[in-house]
């Protein structure tokens, strides 16, 4: 059944790549051109300085600048959900406070990585960020990257805080939207963090996806979400089928190397990533090329 009223954060929000120049610095012009192209192609939201944006290798000044550049280029057209997570609570607070000052619409705050906090530690971390800022906060659970998996009970406990409005779930576990709806309520926003299962996630109560693939195929990804959220699952599945191979190859090597290589082919941007990430190997390059051809993007 189609949702009668969509939440502010819905559909496809692109987890934006951060382009770099040959000298390794942030390519501000290319980034803002990418933001503008994304909006014109129909995406419903923008996520700067997240995992796909290589936030862990950005300096604090660069992180601030990427948020500023996104807000400026977007010019209020779609919601900006700034990536402000860190494995340091103080740093996450500072980044979220800056995002609020910069004019972002919400913050995406990841489970602290490397530290392996307990569930109580997770609750206190997110509560501290919540209490120090006024932005809506979307939790980000991605245990493949962080090791720690936030439990449904912890999420339901955090949902009781006024400005914790939803979650990006990148576990790929399709039982979670159903179970979490029972504990956190239907008003709690659930966004998929995995392109491959995004349509099924919406069927089970989700409201959209924060997408890697939409860096490369924003119009198609937006159309998938629009059909899905209208309840036209036949059309959504037909469109999703065009993207399945592309979804798969976006993680044939560590993201965002595949997305950056794909964009170098269709947008002529540099595919540079920062160490410890490296550029895409030859075999993976061929896979990406084939997926782009299959989706009609080359």
Note if 123 is an active site residue: no
Instruction: Count other Cβ atoms within 10 Å, centred on residue 277.
Output: 16
> 112, 217, 222: which is closest to 209 by C-alpha?
222
**Which residue among 140, 183, 234, 286 is the active-site one?**
140
Please provide residue 5's backbone torsions phi and psi, each rounded to the nearest 5 degrees: -140, 115
Q: To 5 degrees, how large is the angle CA 256–CA 82–CA 78?
A: 100
The answer to whether 14 touches 43, Cβ cutoff 8 Å, is yes
User: Where are any strands of DSSP class E within the chain?
Assistant: 11-15, 45-47, 81-83, 106-110, 137-141, 164-169, 189-192, 208-211
For the chain, what is the radius of gyration of the CA atoms? 18
**Which residue among 64, 98, 168, 260 is the active-site one?**
168
The answer to whether 17 touches 256, Cβ cutoff 8 Å, is yes
Q: Residue 80 carries which DSSP code?
A: B
Residues 28 and 32: their CA atoms lie apart, in Å, by 6
DSSP β-bridge partners for residue 222: none
The answer to whether 227 touches 236, Cβ cutoff 8 Å, is yes
Note if 98 is an active site residue: no
Catalytic residue numbers read 140, 168
């Amino acid at each position: 059944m189609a949702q009668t009223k969509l939440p502010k954060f819905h559909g496809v929000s692109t987890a934006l790549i951060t382009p770099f120049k040959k000298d390794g610095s942030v390519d501000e012009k290319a980034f803002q051109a990418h933001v503008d192209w994304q909006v014109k192609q129909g995406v419903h939201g923008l996520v700067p300085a997240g995992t796909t944006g290589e936030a862990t290798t950005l300096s604090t000044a660069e992180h601030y600048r990427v948020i500023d550049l996104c807000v400026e280029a977007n010019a209020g057209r779609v919601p900006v959900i700034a990536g402000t997570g860190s494995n340091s609570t103080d740093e996450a607070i500072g980044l979220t406070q800056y995002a609020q000052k910069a004019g972002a619409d919400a913050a995406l705050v990841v489970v602290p990585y490397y530290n392996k906090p307990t569930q109580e530690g997770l609750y206190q971390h997110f509560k501290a960020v919540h209490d120090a800022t006024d932005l809506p906060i979307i939790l980000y659970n991605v245990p493949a990257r962080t090791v720690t998996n936030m439990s449904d009970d912890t999420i339901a406990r955090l949902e009781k805080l006024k400005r914790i409005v939803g979650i990006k779930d990148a576990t790929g576990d399709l039982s979670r939207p159903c179970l979490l709806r029972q504990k956190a309520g239907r008003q709690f926003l659930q966004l998929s963090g995995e392109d491959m299962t995004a349509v099924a996630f919406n069927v089970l109560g989700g409201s959209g996806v924060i997408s890697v693939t939409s860096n490369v195929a924003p119009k198609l990804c937006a159309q998938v979400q629009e059909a899905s959220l209208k309840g036209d699952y036949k059309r959504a599945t037909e469109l999703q089928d065009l993207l399945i191979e592309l979804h798969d190859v976006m993680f044939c090597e560590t993201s965002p190397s595949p997305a950056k290589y794909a964009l170098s082919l269709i947008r002529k941007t540099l595919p540079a990533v920062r160490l410890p990430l490296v550029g895409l190997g030859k075999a993976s390059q061929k896979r990406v090329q084939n997926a782009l051809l299959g989706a009609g993007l080359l």
